[in-house]
Amino acid sequence: RSLEGLKTFSYLEELILDNNLLGNDLLLPKLPHLHTLTLNKNQISFQRKLESLLNHLAEVVPSLQYLSLLGNVACPNELVCKEKDEDDYQRYRYFVLHKLTNLKFLDTRKVTRMEKEEALLRGAFMKVVKPKDAKASGDAASTSPEMHYTPLPSGSRDLTNHRGILGKCRYIYYGKHSEGNRFIRDDQL
């Protein structure tokens, strides 16, 4: 779980760190000759932490050409999470390629010219951002029921008090041109 001894290998070119329980706080020493890095099946879990990891990798391993992050939650694929699909994975690829422009191979696929162009244009906008949960942040004002938006009128917001609300409708339906009742026979009325 510790990468302390790596700083003595400054000419290291390939590094395989699969299945090492490495987390979001992964810090590599400066390895200017490293071109292959695999971090498969570790504990890199959040997209926002992935951004800091990619910024760190761009700084300490400038020659990186082959990177694999499969098996981490930060790499959204169908093998790790059933809710993820190919579009999520492609957005992840664009974001990684935007941060690490020298990559030739990411995870299991070669980086195409079209992917590099798309990453340059839109890669910065492919970062997945989730809103903070109001209950988790501890904000008391945002958890009160009066603060939440509801399309219902104020008289019907209380679930224990079931009252009808009357309103005025501008449109009157006469049913002259309706064909909805043409299949109903008189004996079914």
Q: What does the pLDDT read at residue 53?
A: 87
Looking at beta carbons, which pairs linking 9-17 to residues 24 or more positions away fall under 8 Å?
17/42
Task: Say if residues 87 and 126 touch (Cβ distance below 8 Å).
Answer: no
End-to-end CA distance of the chain, in Å?
76
**pTM strictly above 0.75:** no
Q: Cα angle at 50 between 47 and 52, to 5 degrees? A: 125
Q: What does the pLDDT read at residue 164?
A: 59
Task: Please state, in angstroms and rounded to a whole number, the distance separating the CA atoms of residues 109 and 104.
Answer: 9
Task: Please state, in angstroms and rounded to a whole number, the distance separating the CA atoms of residues 4 and 34.
Answer: 16
Q: What does the pLDDT read at residue 174?
A: 67
All structural domains of the chain with their residue ranges = 10-126
Q: What does the pLDDT read at residue 157?
A: 54
Q: What does the pLDDT read at residue 62?
A: 93
Report DSSP letters for 46-114, one per residue.
-HHHHHHHHHHHHHH-TT--EEE-TTSTTS--TTT-TT--HHHHHHHHHHHHHH-TT-SEETTEEPPHH
Q: What does the pLDDT read at residue 183?
A: 66
CATH 3.30.160 corresponds to the domain 10-126: no
Task: Please state, in angstroms and rounded to a whole number, the distance separating the CA atoms of residues 120 and 97.
Answer: 8
pLDDT string in tens for the chain (189-residue length): 677 788 888 899 999 999 888 887 888 899 999 999 999 988 887 666 788 888 999 999 999 999 999 888 888 876 667 777 788 888 889 999 999 999 999 988 999 999 999 888 887 777 766 555 545 544 444 444 455 555 555 655 555 665 555 666 666 666 666 666 666 677 776
Task: Please state, in angstroms and rounded to a whole number, the distance separating the CA atoms of residues 131 and 4.
Answer: 36
Q: What does the pLDDT read at residue 169?
A: 62
Task: Please state, in angstroms and rounded to a whole number, the distance separating the CA atoms of residues 153 and 148.
Answer: 13
Question: Could you say which DSSP state residue 34 is in?
Answer: -
Q: What does the pLDDT read at residue 24?
A: 79
Q: What does the pLDDT read at residue 160?
A: 62
